[in-house]
Chain A
Amino acid sequence: MNWVYVAYAAAWAIHIVYFITLTRGYQRVRRDMEDLNRQ
C-alpha cells in the first residue's frame, strides 16, 4: 500500500511543481507589464 501513497504523492508533486512554475510565470509577466506601463 505504501507504493500507492508514494505514487500518488509523486503524481501530485509533479502537478504542484508545474503549477508553481505557472504562478512564477504570471508574476514575471505582471512585473513586465508594470515596467512597460511605467515607461
Chain B
Amino acid sequence: MKSFVIFALITLALLTFGLYQALVAAPTEATMGDVQRIFYYHLPSAIIAFLCFFANFGASVYYLAKRCPKSDAVAVATAEVGIVFCTVVLITGPLWARPVWGIWWTWDARLTSTLVLWLIYVSYLLLRRYSAAGQNPVLCAVLAIFGAVDVVFVYMSIRWFRTQHPAPVFGGGENSGIDPRMAHAVYWNLLAFSAMALLVIWLRYRLERLRQQVDEAHATRAIAGGSR
C-alpha cells in the first residue's frame, strides 16, 4: 500500500511537471500558435492507448492458452484504460484541428484508424457486459485477437482507399527538425501519463480480481447450499 502511495505521488508530480512543460516551457509553435500545445496531450495519449491495446492482445492470447484468471483481469483493465486514452485522443484531435485547419474532423489515416480502434474496443466492452458470466473471458479474448489482427488492415485500408482526404500536414511540429524543448514536453508528458496509466491499470486489475473472488465465493456458496 505504501509503495502505491509513493508511486501515486510521483505520478502526480510528473503530471504537474508535464503540464508546466506543455504550457510554459515549450515554445510557441511558429505556424499554428499556442493551439499546437494540445499536441503534448494528444500524442502521448495516442501512444499509451496503442500500448494498452497491445497489452490487451498479449493478455488475451495468454488467457486462451493458460485460462489464467489473472490474465483475464489484465485484459479487461488494459482494454478499459486503453479506451479512456483513446477517447482523449479523439477529443483532443478535433479540438486541435478546428482552430488550425477550420475543420472538426478529417478522414485521414491516423485519426480514422483511432476511431475504428475505439469502436472495436468499445464493442469488446459491450461483449463483456452482455455475455453470460461463464463464457465472458473466453469470448472477449477471442474478440480481442480479431481486433488486434484487424488493426493492421484498418490502417492500410484507410491510407489506400480513402483518397479524398489527405492528411493535413502537421507542419514542422512533429518529427523533422523539432525544437528540443518541444520534444521535452512530449517526453515528460509521455512519462507522466504512462505512470498514470500503469497506476489506473493496476487499480482496475485489483478491482477485477476482487470481483472474480466474489463471484467464486457466490458460486461455491450456491453449490454448497444446493447440496444440502
- The main secondary structure of chain B at its interface with chain A is helix
B50-58, B134-142, B149-157, B203-211 - the one binding chain A:
B203-211
Total A-B contacts with CB atoms under 8 angstroms apart: 67
B218 within 8 A of A: yes
Query: Which chain A positions have C-beta within 8 A of B42?
Result: 7
The total of chain A residues at the interface (CB under 8 A) is 20
A29 / chain B contacts, CB cutoff of 8 Å:
207, 210-211, 214
User: What is the bound-complex CA distance between A35 and B42, given in angstroms?
Assistant: 43
Contact B35 A3 (CB under 8 A): yes
Q: Which of A1-39 contact B (CB under 8 A)?
A: 1, 3-4, 6-8, 10-11, 14-15, 18-19, 22, 25-26, 29, 32-33, 36, 39
Q: Which residues of A contact B (CB under 8 A)?
A: 1, 3-4, 6-8, 10-11, 14-15, 18-19, 22, 25-26, 29, 32-33, 36, 39
Measuring CB to CB, which residues of chain B are less than 8 angstroms from any residue of chain A? 19, 22-23, 34-35, 37-38, 41-42, 45, 80-81, 84, 87-88, 91-92, 95-96, 98-99, 196, 200, 203-204, 207, 210-211, 214, 217-218, 221
**With contacts A6-B95, A11-B41, A26-B207 known, what are 13 further pairs, Cβ within 8 A?**
A3-B35, A3-B38, A3-B96, A3-B99, A10-B88, A15-B88, A15-B196, A18-B200, A22-B200, A25-B207, A25-B211, A29-B210, A36-B217
